[in-house]
Amino acid sequence: MNSASSPTSKREPLLQRQARQVSRLHRWLGTGFCLLFALWFGTGFVMMYVPFPALPDGARIAASAPVRLDAVMLPPSAAAHGFPVQRLRLVDVLGRPRYLATLDGGGMLSIAADTGGFTAPLDMAAARRVAERFAGRTAAAVEGPFDHDQWVVHQRFDAVRPFYRVELGDAAGTELYVSAPLGQVSQRTTRFERGWNWVGAVVHWIYPTFLRKSLWAWDQLVWWLALAGIVVAASGWGLGVVRMVNLRRAGRGGLSPFRGWVRWHHLIGLVGGAFALTWVFSGWLSMDHGRLFSLDQPAVARLARLRGTDMATAMTGVMPATLQALGSAREIEFAVVGGQAFIIQRNAADTPYRLTPVLAGVPRTPLAAIPDALLADAVAAAWAPARVRDIAGIAVDDEYGHMRSEPLPDSARRVRLDDAAQTWVHMDARSGQLIGQMDSSRRAYRWLYNGLHTFDFPLLNRAGPLWRVLMLAALAAGMGLSVSALVLGGRRMARASARGRRRT
């Protein structure tokens, strides 16, 4: 049998045709996506140094006024009666005590603690006073009410809309967002944060207000764009490796058979293409939302079983005089874990919280933390028939608890179950709140998303500045790949346009 009729030679034209088809797909998809990739890599530089604005709970509580307990007339059981309350807090709003109830499913209620009944939304003048008390200075301007702008567009703000935006007129250009229904400051931004986030997170996440205020529309657009981006990156990197291997097989020196910008694109792509692929893949996973991997929050019914009883029943017997005897605080939270009621008093950031168990409406000796046995029993009841294997704190080098993004607090406890999914439940021993659940699917997601997208690996997390050096180098390689693609794509479109003009 001669070489012309060998099976290998018959397959070669087919393989060449397939390579040409993949190359054509990559060229034209890449022409459309090269600008998007350049924006993703460019904004990645910004996001390393300037995160999206947020107002931490500790900062909000520290700037709040103490609750006037002498004005409280409505007991917490009455405030929670008839509602599926997940969290109940007592706060100050312009010198008057107010209950804020977070409901199962995410809704919120605001109830006057001095007179009873639902509170009316703040007007503009009241919102100004709330912001001025929070900041300790006179406000320069107030706008609103409005439902959305760029810095309160996330769905976590849905239950507390509309907002007033209050400009403080300080050197930092601080703006406070006061929730009209809650009477609290819910967001804080500075001129520096806003400016850099316009060229950082807003572009990186494709986050303009008009799109992001519809979670469904934003989710669908980014998910499909990232999926197409995976095709672009995978086809380009695969072709780059094949070209290099074929060059070696042909006995020719070097790494690339091309010249000019195509050569630069090929050479940079051998390294930068791998980062582009892993980043766009992990970015696509950031939009998973339960499509392929499990969620980190349980169903509402499970949260109710974790509490063990409803808030109103748990707080029966806790009267305004009971609260006054405990002493004032800037925020008082009422919590239920495994049927056991707790009152949590919070003050300024440098002042310890106070956790007081309540039995039959009577406060007992304050605790440093909710006992592990109670947390374990509550989790066992919520996740039955699964049984609790053990409960423990989170080690300082724990690769699932101390990630770069949203690490667990020092007060977290991990409850491990013996179910088929090997579920871990993370509970906050200072508040009794469930932080999240992490089964085998979610732990895999931790590596595929957090690991690949932010180089969140234990070795790098302990390597000091090495993490930042590697991130900057990888972003630079990706940016170089994108710029070379922009040049090639621009030339290709110019040639196509010229051919079209000649035909006409």
Paired strand residues for 341: 336, 358
How many Å is the Cα radius of gyration of the chain? 28
Question: What's the mean pLDDT in 464-487?
Answer: 93
Cβ atoms of residues 163 and 179 within 8 Å:
yes
- Judge whether residue 431 has pLDDT over 90: yes
Q: Are 134 and 92 in contact (CB under 8 A)?
A: no
Q: What is the number of other CB atoms lying within 10 angstroms of the CB of residue 96?
A: 17
Q: How far apart are CA 59 and CA 71, in angstroms?
A: 25
- Which 3 state secondary structure label does DSSP give 395? coil
pLDDT digits (tens, 9 = 90+) for 113-149: 999 999 999 999 999 999 999 999 999 999 999 999 9
Least confident of 48-62, 126-140, 253-267, 321-335: 253-267
Query: Binning pLDDT at 50, 70 and 90, where does residue 466 land?
Result: very high
Q: Determine the pLDDT at residue 5.
A: 47
* Mean pLDDT of the chain, nearest integer: 92
Per residue in 163-191, pLDDT (tens digit) is 999 999 999 999 999 999 999 999 999 99
DSSP code for 462:
T
Quick one: pLDDT at residue 504?
66
Residue 14 pLDDT > 70: no
Phi-psi region of 406 (alpha: psi -120 to 50; beta: other; left: phi over 0): left
Q: Is 75 in contact with 319 (CB distance < 8 Å)?
A: yes
pTM of the entire predicted model? 0.91
Task: Say whether pLDDT at 4 is over 60.
Answer: no
**Residue 20: exposure state from Cβ atoms within 10 A (0-12, 13-18, ≥19):** exposed
Within 10 angstroms of residue 87's Cβ, the number of other Cβ atoms is: 18
Which structure tokens are listed for 464? 């000091």
Rounded to whole angstroms, the Cα distance separating 230 from 274 reads: 11
pLDDT of residue 217 exceeding 70, the answer is: yes
d(CA 142, CA 131): 10
Tell me the per-residue pLDDT of 70-106, one tens digit each, with 9 for 90 and over.
999 999 999 999 999 999 999 999 999 999 999 998 8
- Average pLDDT score over residue span 47-62: 95
Helix residue ranges, H only, 159-259: 191-198, 201-204, 209-212, 215-249
CA distance 27 to 269: 13
